A and B are shown apart, each in its own frame.
Chain A
Amino acid sequence: MHIKMPKADHDILNRRDMIISALQDMLPAENIITAEDGMRPYETDALTSYKQMPLVVVLPETTEQVSEILKFCSEHKVKIIPRGAGTSLCGGALPTQDAVVIGLAKMSNMLEVDYKNRYARVQTGITNLAITHHIESDDFFYAPDPSSQLACTLAGNIAMNSGGAHCLKYGVTTNNLLGLKAVLIDGTIIDIGGPYMDSQGYDLLGLFTGSEGQLAIITEAIVRILPKPEGARPALFGFNSAEEAGACVADIIAHGIIPVAIEYMDKPAIQVCEDFAQAGYPMDVQALLIIEVEGSDFEIEKLLEKMVHIARKNGSTRFKQSNSEAESAAIWKGRKSAFGAMGRISDYYCIDGTIPTSQLPFVLKRIDEIVKSYDLSVANIFHAGDGNLHPLVMFDANDADSNLRAEKCSADILKLCVDVGGCLTGEHGVGIEKRDLMTYQFTIDDLNQQMGIKSALDPQWLLNPAKVFPLEIRPVLYN
């Protein structure tokens, strides 16, 4: 618990009643939560070791309401924490005491589906999986699939530029968006892009995606939807070492094959996930690759044949492919519930660095050493095709010392990712968790360029201000 948050603005705390009554003029009573009990679910996100009650929580239902709220807040210099489902793993949705939480949960409608032009227009409070649920009976889907997809909102996905297991083939959130409707801090409503590729002017779609709720509140989006593949089949490849598994991934790619997903688990992770999902993972291996391929049965057979050949050459000792929908679902359930399954046996920090894939064996060895040096243990899960690591560092949340060691250990692992040419976060975002490490990856000039945009669009730094940029390097704000 060593991440500092800025001091609350007492002036705002003192004006709480006035602020609430102004918000009451803008929203129906049931859309404003002021009581402590009611606000409890909003005091943290999935980085649960950090908690803070906000000033008040509002749940608008229209873009116009969001606009009114922001206009009011900017006029009165009230800070704002945009919130989707609160599944952020980096404290991105953590409130401050002097801030209004704006939750998008009530804006979850599907507004338009156009199969011919392959897009859907939605309100961003919709959950990731609900988009696919709306269109799957017509054999379409929305591709980015964070493991939290049942709960997390598209708003959060856009703010974090979330990825998922299948983004090796389909790309992450930013690659699957065509347009946005957003509200700027002064209440201005803007439309970016449209239901076609290529938007005019600067790529604001690209800029807003991954801006962690600091540039605007995004209320609607136009997303690319895709026809479902004829079929998909995951297969399991077991190895006696991380090196062999890593070499196999590189070799598959060298053969011109880009599977839909290549997921890696080490022995501790396999154990935990198997116990949870009974997925049929092999238990006598040190490293496991879950590789999914798509197409017709015939295409899948051919691709798997090729990959089995490549995997054997690289020392794979076990191979098992799914033989039914139920087996496929179990294989993915094991992987996608990895975080939850781990949570049943221990507290953990989920790390999210990315490394160049060739560094994999070295980095895994170093992670092991680092974790041991802090007297902790780790399970490794990651998106192997793109080098996005999720070491889960286990600790005891009831033990302050263990907690602190785990935070320091996580920081060392992230620095390692940067040292080998990678980055601090591949998909979970910076939030507060990696905020103070930003100067490790970036120079002050790099960060000034980013903060310049923040200051240009939100001069008073009211939108989710305590996140992303280290507190001590921010520009001094003048009134």
Chain B
Amino acid sequence: MIFQPNSEAQVIKTIQDAYQDNKKLYVIGHGTKHQVGRPVEADQSLSLKALSGITNYTPNEMVIEAYAGTPLEEIEQSLHAKNQELSFEPYRLNILFGSHDTGSIGGAAAMNLSGSRSLKTGTLRDSLIGIKGVNGAGIAFKSGGKVMKNVTGYDLVKLLSGSYGTLAAITHVSFKTQPISPSQTTLIFNIANHSDAVDILCTAMGEAFDITAAAAIPKQDGSWEALLRLEGFDNSLNYRSKKLASLFRKHSEPQQLVAELSKARWKDIQELSPVRTVKGSIWRLSMRPTDAPKFITRLEQGQEKVKLFLDWSGGLIWLGFENENTQNCEKSIQHALRKIKANITLIKAPKSDREKVNVFQPLDPALALMSKKIKASFDPLNLLNSGKLYQDI
């Protein structure tokens, strides 16, 4: 049974009924990425797809608000028409699951779906300024609002972003937007190995270049490309690219992609091109950028054939395995990590495998207990996306 309410009142009614009957609900947006996470046990589905539409867009206040089911694409198009954008440049995870629909804005919020520019502007949660939702007892609530600076009460906005629908069904969201930079340039340095590539990214991030994205991508011949994106006015881009180029001259003379070519390259990254064609599971790991080279060396010495690339100055690693045995992939990641601290998320694997491995980084007992208590304060009967994040959460 799939409920597809088109008003907040209907969402409330659906959850209240489920609460009365103690029925578990599978909360989804457009469903394009519903396979991310642990398999959910549910009696019924609650799709937010029909609860759609932009409710307020005030470009000169840099704020956009919309119902949760509004397509991300619709939001982005409206913003582009006024020369604005969502700063966090969400990855197109939908492509991994064979969908052209970029999904709903509410789904993006529920996953904290973020991409390359988050290195500079923070992830989705740093742009999300208001949220309305309905909790597991069918009670509607709001947090935040439509102004950027707001510390009134607890920040449930952040708590809900990335909660994968386990605390509440998100019905409405408010985002701050930003002007699209007049121009952009990407410098690409050809580097012999991944440790030098990460070193270049980290060094550049530690200088005042105002870099808005920093990625490293392996090439067929085993060498690497270090990509640094600059955004701003043309004269300033010229100035900064020259300085950047001279800083790393000893490594290589950079290739420079300007304007549309630069955009196209980052779109490719946004669509996860370097890893998306693999047959097996796809993972993301965040860690200290300087830990990444050691991890990659060990991983590449291991058994599994793996495709990968680095974003966020090396602090975010995307892995795609050819081996279809997800458990073996998990083992090789663990083996390569050893003592390196990281936050591992399994993004794509068959359902049966997602039952056998840790989809999200396990919590230590104190955090697990606290998370359960928080979950219970929103969803006392554990009805919403039960088990999607962790057992019982």
Contact = CB atoms under 8 A, between A and B. Distances in A.
B373 A117 contact: no
A41 interface: no
B150 A196 contact: no
A445 B126 contact: no
Contacts of B149: 163, 167, 172, 354, 383, 386-388, 426-427
A443 B158 CA distance: 19
B151 A160 contact: yes
A416 interface: no
Nearest to B380: A452
Contacts of B286: 196-198
A354 B150 contact: yes
A423 B150 contact: yes
Interface stretch (B24-32, B57-65, B99-107): B57-65
B118 interface: yes
A206 B125 contact: yes
B206 A203 contact: no
Contacts of B236: 295-296, 298-299, 302
A62 interface: no
B141 A443 contact: yes
B63 A356 contact: yes
Interface string B113-125: 0000011001101
Contacts of A250: 60-61
A195 interface: yes
Interface in A443-473: 443, 445-450, 452-457, 468
Contacts of A448: 139, 141
Interface stretch (A184-192, A269-277, A281-289): A184-192
A256 B83 contact: yes
Interface in A105-152: 114-118, 139-140
B202 A116 contact: yes
Contacts of A227: 205-208
Interface string B133-149: 00100011111011111
Contacts of A445: 139-141
Contact of B155 (A118, A189, A206, A296): A206
Contact of B135 (A171, A298, A388, A449): A449
Contacts of B205: 118, 227
Contacts, number: 253
Contacts of A140: 206
Contacts of A358: 58, 60-61
Interface residues of A, number: 93
Given A421-B145, A449-B135, A254 B367 contact: no
Contacts of A228: 208
B239 A298 contact: yes
B320 interface: no
A188 B377 contact: no
Contacts of A438: 152-153
Interface stretch (B178-186, B249-257, B302-310): B178-186
B188 interface: no
A51 B329 CA distance: 61
B162 interface: yes
Nearest to B389: A201
Interface stretch (A10-18, A207-215, A338-346): A207-215
Contact of B147 (A206, A230, A423, A453): A423
Given A190-B367, A202-B162, A357 B61 contact: yes
Contacts of B232: 299
B156 A117 contact: no
Interface in B341-374: 341-343, 360-364, 366-367, 370-371, 373-374
B155 A210 contact: yes
Interface in A64-108: none
Given A253-B179, A356-B61, A438-B152, A453 B146 contact: no
A452 B377 contact: yes
A355 B61 CA distance: 10
Interface string A414-432: 0000000111111111100
B224 interface: no
A250 B58 CA distance: 11
A184 B239 CA distance: 50
A257 interface: yes
Interface in B56-106: 58-63, 83
Given A184-B370, A257-B179, A299-B235, 19 more contacts: A116-B203, A174-B155, A190-B366, A203-B125, A203-B159, A204-B159, A296-B239, A298-B236, A302-B236, A356-B63, A387-B147, A421-B145, A423-B150, A424-B152, A426-B151, A434-B152, A438-B153, A449-B143, A453-B156
Interface of B: 58-63, 83, 112, 118-119, 122-123, 125-126, 135, 139-143, 145-159, 161-163, 167, 178-182, 202-203, 205-208, 210, 232-233, 235-236, 239, 286-290, 312, 315-316, 341-343, 360-364, 366-367, 370-371, 373-374, 376-378, 389-390, 393
15 contacts: A114-B288, A118-B205, A184-B366, A190-B366, A196-B315, A197-B119, A201-B393, A202-B374, A203-B112, A204-B370, A206-B158, A254-B60, A443-B142, A446-B153, A448-B141
